[in-house]
């Protein structure tokens, strides 16, 4: 059984002009001890998926359909207090975007991790502090840093501290939303090493949200490519990077330099993702796709199995496995 099984999930934001279909019929699964990356341009719904999984949604957002099963139990049916007691931090935790601002400036790192443990587990303050210190060591910092305030830490250390906090209650799944975005390349590489090391040592599953394909290639087993609120290709990282099938994935992959392959000219994707208040009919990528056919403008391509992955594209409609 999958650890996390998301099926036909829909989450819309209501605004004055109508409904923004931010997550529209999204399905994927995360297997225990595996890591899935969600990639795509900004505004394609990646962070909205993450926030929907924990129901950390603003007042104008509504789950319109679908299920989110964590080892078989449907999270969408749980009340906020059930989620607080049973799921958030204990089973699914999250590393939020922008570690620089994720820590409270007037409390020490140790205090913030300890508070998280005390809120969710029946342990003493000393036991919680001992675990916080071990977590700080686990993410590669000296144990003394537990007594430091955020302003006394570098950007990379803050990122490690929020990673330690996400691990505070031994969750089954950690969602990392753009975990390296605000960091320089050297610190990004260090944080990446920490994430890879933790995955192997603790066996924790991860859902990594990023527009950075290199980060996903380094940290994930599988990748789901999101475009305009939908998953358009989903499969093993090694197959999708080697031979992308969906035209959007091809464009995304060719927009990133390859570190190991021969030097190739990088291309950009012309145009912008559509307005999700009124997405285009048929395939949502058709206004930007150089392979668009008449059928693409009329009929939405279903996500189907094509050789070793799932793809939603009429070009591959006849090649079902
Ligand atoms: Fe392009 Fe058509 Fe495939 Fe959409 S369905 S990606 S428009 S070929």
| DSSP H/E element including 109 | helix 109-120
pLDDT exceeds 80 at position 180: no
Q: What is the pLDDT of residues 193-226, one digit of tens each?
A: 888 887 788 889 999 999 888 889 988 999 999 9
Confidence of residue 182 (pLDDT cuts 50, 70, 90): low
Q: How far apart are CA 173 and CA 166, in angstroms?
A: 10
Confidence of residue 320 (pLDDT cuts 50, 70, 90): very low
Choosing from 245, 290, 293, 304 the residue with most ligand 1 atoms within 8 A of its CB, the one to mutate for a pocket test is 293
Q: Which class for 179: exposed (0-12), middle (13-18), buried (19 or more C-beta within 10 A)?
A: buried
Cα 176 to ligand 1 centroid, rounded to whole Å: 30
| Beta carbons within 8 Å of 80's beta carbon, 6+ residues apart | 55
| Beta carbons within 8 Å of 202's beta carbon, 6+ residues apart | 167
Decide if 225 contacts 240 (C-beta within 8 A): yes
CA-nearest residue, atom 3 of ligand 1 = 313
Q: How far apart are CA 160 and CA 128, in angstroms?
A: 18
Cα 301 to ligand 1 centroid, rounded to whole Å: 8
| pLDDT given at position 261 | 64
Cα 283 to ligand 1 centroid, rounded to whole Å: 6
Query: Quick one: tokens of 256?
Result: 């990133």
Q: How far apart are CA 92 and CA 95, in angstroms?
A: 10
Whether residue 286 has its Cβ less than 6 Å from ligand 1: yes
β-partners of residue 176 are: 95, 208
Q: What is the pLDDT of residues 37-91, one digit of tens each?
A: 999 998 899 999 999 999 999 999 999 999 999 999 999 999 999 999 899 999 9
Closest CA to 116 of 138, 95, 100, 143: 95
Proportion of the chain above pLDDT 90, given as a percent: 70
Q: What is the pLDDT of residues 112-155, one digit of tens each?
A: 999 999 998 899 999 999 999 999 998 888 999 999 999 999 88
Distances (CA, A) of 48 to 31, 115, 214: 21, 27, 22
Q: What is the pLDDT of residues 220-256, one digit of tens each?
A: 999 999 999 999 999 999 999 999 999 999 999 988 7
Q: How far apart are CA 48 and CA 95, in angstroms?
A: 14
Whether residue 247 has its Cβ less than 6 Å from ligand 1: yes
Cα 284 to ligand 1 centroid, rounded to whole Å: 8
Q: What is the DSSP string of 292-303?
A: --HHHHHSPPP-
Q: How far apart are CA 2 and CA 182, in angstroms?
A: 32
| pLDDT given at position 318 | 54
The model scores a pTM over 0.85: yes
Q: How far apart are CA 113 and CA 118, in angstroms?
A: 9
Q: How far apart are CA 43 and CA 27, in angstroms?
A: 18
Domains and CATH numbers, the chain: 4-83+173-274 (3.40.50.300), 99-170 (no CATH)
92: helix, coil or strand?
strand
- Adjacency order of strands within the sheet including 4-15: 18-30, 4-15, 61-70, 73-74
| Beta carbons within 8 Å of 28's beta carbon, 6+ residues apart | 6, 36, 38, 224, 231, 234
Q: How far apart are CA 145 and CA 161, in angstroms?
A: 9
β-partners of residue 30 are: 4
Whether residue 301 has its Cβ less than 6 Å from ligand 1: yes
β-strand pairing of 61-70 with 73-74? antiparallel
Q: How far apart are CA 321 and CA 319, in angstroms?
A: 6
Closest CA to 192 of 220, 153, 152, 222: 220
Cα 68 to ligand 1 centroid, rounded to whole Å: 28
Query: Quick one: tokens of 185?
Result: 């390349």
pLDDT exceeds 50 at position 99: yes
């Amino acid at each position: 059984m999958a650890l996390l099984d998301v099926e036909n999930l829909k989450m819309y934001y209501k605004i004055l002009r109508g409904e923004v279909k931010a997550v529209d019929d999204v399905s994927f699964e995360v297997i225990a001890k595996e890591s899935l990356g969600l990639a795509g341009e900004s505004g394609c719904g990646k962070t909205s998926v993450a926030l929907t999984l924990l129901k950390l949604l603003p007042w104008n957002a509504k789950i319109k359909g679908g299920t989110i099963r964590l080892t078989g139990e449907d999270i969408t049916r749980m009340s906020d207090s059930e989620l607080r007691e049973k799921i958030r931090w204990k089973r699914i935790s999250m590393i939020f975007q922008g570690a620089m601002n994720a820590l409270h400036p007037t409390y020490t790192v140790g205090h913030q991790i300890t508070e998280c443990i005390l809120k969710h587990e029946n342990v003493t303050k000393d036991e919680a502090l001992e675990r916080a210190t071990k977590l700080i060591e686990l993410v590669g910092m000296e144990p003394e840093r537990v007594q430091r305030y955020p302003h006394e830490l570098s950007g990379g250390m803050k990122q490690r501290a929020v990673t330690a906090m996400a691990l505070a209650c031994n969750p089954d799944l950690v969602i990392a939303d753009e975990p390296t975005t605000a960091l320089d390349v050297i610190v990004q590489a260090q944080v990446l090493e920490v994430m890879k090391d933790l995955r192997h040592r603790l066996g924790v599953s991860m859902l990594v949200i990023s527009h950075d394909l290199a980060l996903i290639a380094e940290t994930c087993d599988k990748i789901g490519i999101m475009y305009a609120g939908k998953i358009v290709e989903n499969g093993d990282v090694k197959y999708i990077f080697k031979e992308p099938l969906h035209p959007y994935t091809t464009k995304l992959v060719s927009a990133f330099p390859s570190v190991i392959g021969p030097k190739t000219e990088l291309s950009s994707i012309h145009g912008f993702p559509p307005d999700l208040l009124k997405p285009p009919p048929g395939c949502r990528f058709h206004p930007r796709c150089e392979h668009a056919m008449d059928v693409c403008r009329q009929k939405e391509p279903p996500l189907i199995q094509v050789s070793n992955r799932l793809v939603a594209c009429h070009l591959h409609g006849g090649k079902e496995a």
